[in-house]
Amino acid sequence: MKIRMLSARFEIPRIHPSVNLVLFAILVLGALGSSSVFAQQHLSKRYPAGKNVRVELKNISGTITVESWNRDEIKLSATLESPAAHLSPRQTGEALIVDVVADNRGRSDVGDINFKLQVPVNSSVDLETKSGQITVSNIRGELVRAHVSLEGDIELIGISASQVYAQNTIGNIFFDGEFARGGTYQFQSGKGDITIRIPADSAFKLVAAAPNRKIALGGFWNDGIKSLGDGRKFVGDIGEGRSRVMVTNFQGSITFIRR
């Protein structure tokens, strides 16, 4: 008796090349996404503070956001991109000092750090970065200073400080606040637009200069303002001239808006 053996044949279905490409793309994107997550470091810390604390922050690159809150403490949050910078905040008396430049001196491979600080409303803030946007909201302390040495916008919103200094090389500057009696306010941009939005009854001594003659005072114009250099510079008093305002823009416009 002969037994016939039947051979079993199994066929593996072929996958279309386009499907292979899609699967490969999904794997690559997944790997990139996971690597970017692991490349970031997050820091969050709280510091006790009085009502008139001073915050000094020197960043290399990345955004800086400062906003007020109703607590007698400072909350510092930071996202560090790879390669992560060294970060050693220190508190001395009534000041919190964060100096990324000093903490990473000699390093050339430092990633961005994006800062967010929540501070008491009467705080003074002194902020610097080489590149990145600086935003400050609802601060009524003595000083608000924002300096971007290379490129980045500056937004100062709801500010009632007696001294305000905003300066960048490339980027816009926007100020929405009030000029205090006897205060000093300086705004300077190398290339960008400067917009100042203040109450209609603001009183200040003005010096505004723009080589391209793009200066718009709007409702703040009066006959006591002198135009110098064929409209490249305006000097004069608005109201009683109770504060000093100096605005300089080398390649951009200067605009005053009443509110």
Does the pLDDT of residue 137 top 80, yes or no? yes
Residue-wise pLDDT for 67-93, tens only, equals 999 999 999 999 999 999 999 999 998
pTM comes to 0.84
Can you give the residue ranges of every domain in the chain? 41-171
In this prediction, residue 39 has a pLDDT band, given cuts at 50, 70 and 90, of confident
Residue-wise pLDDT for 147-170, tens only, equals 999 999 999 999 999 999 999 999
Residue-wise pLDDT for 169-227, tens only, equals 999 999 999 999 999 999 999 999 999 999 999 999 999 999 988 899 999 999 989 99
Residue tagged 């409209």 (tokens): 231
**DSSP assignment of 164-208:** EEEEEEES-EEEEE-PPTT-EEEEEEEES-EEEEE-TT--EEEEE
